[in-house]
Chain A
Amino acid sequence: DTGVSQNPRHKITKRGQNVTFRCDPISEHNRLYWYRQTLGQGPEFLTYFQNEAQLEKSRLLSDRFSAERPKGSFSTLEIQRTEQGDSAMYLCASSLGDPQYFGPGTRLTVL
């Protein structure tokens, strides 16, 4: 399968712990996006990379959130000091332009 992959698929953590998610885009795609989706809502944009450069960050991305794409390939999203409100599906997408192709998501549950 050469689509977008995300790991882990599910993560349960206790409030206050740090978590890290990984996204592997489609191999030739230079653009990578992170979105967050809460139950019953559409996804909301978090951040966007072109190659290794982080070009845009949403105000949703508080200082507890950090994203990297060190070599312009895979990306990581870290959440520090998790809160119950961080419980959501975290979606990654990649593209060469349009359209964007989404991965299966990582579902985070904060207890």
Chain B
Amino acid sequence: KQEVTQIPAALSVPEGENLVLNCSFTDSAIYNLQWFRQDPGKGLTSLLLIQSSQREQTSGRLNASLDKSSGRSTLYIAASQPGDSATYLCAVIWGAQKLVFGQGTRLTINP
């Protein structure tokens, strides 16, 4: 079964720290992987998309990496700010068009 797992479910860090969110998936034959941000009660905002042929993508303070052979992706957030507090979701497309999501990591940045 193709599954996505995100650990930890929640993370709390002081403002200014660099941090890493983890995502693992069960089948390495992915088409692409997408990271999203979700604020409470809101829809999803796409942060970064990594194609299966890529190793990483960067946008501002965010960097996402992909290691298909180990079935892992990480989202690195540099110099965290209170406005980064949200739930971060990892999702994989394996070939059908549907995204398969992890359960998310709820991130709190403390001022």
Interface size bracket, A side = 20 to 34
- Measured CB to CB, the residues of B under 8 A from A are 4, 32, 34, 36, 41-46, 49, 51, 89, 91, 93, 96-104
**Chain B residues with CB below 8 A from A55, complex form:** 97
- C-alpha spacing A102/B49, complex, angstroms: 14
- Measured CB to CB, the residues of A under 8 A from B are 4, 6, 31, 33, 35, 40-45, 48, 50, 55-56, 58, 91, 93, 98-105, 107
Label chain B's interface by main secondary structure: strand
Taking a contact as CB atoms under 8 Å apart, the answer to whether A91 and B43 are in contact is: yes
**Chain A residues with CB below 8 A from B100, complex form:** 45
Taking a contact as CB atoms under 8 Å apart, the answer to whether A41 and B49 are in contact is: no
| Chain A minimum-CB-distance residue to B51 | A98
Give the top 10 A-B pairs by smallest Cβ distance, nearest first.
A42-B101, A45-B98, A102-B44, A104-B43, A99-B49, A102-B43, A105-B43, A99-B46, A42-B103, A43-B101
- What are 26 A-to-B residue pairs whose CB atoms are below 8 Å? A4-B43, A41-B104, A42-B4, A42-B101, A42-B103, A42-B104, A43-B44, A43-B89, A43-B99, A45-B100, A56-B97, A91-B43, A91-B44, A93-B44, A93-B99, A98-B51, A98-B93, A99-B49, A100-B46, A100-B99, A102-B36, A102-B43, A104-B43, A105-B42, A105-B43, A107-B41
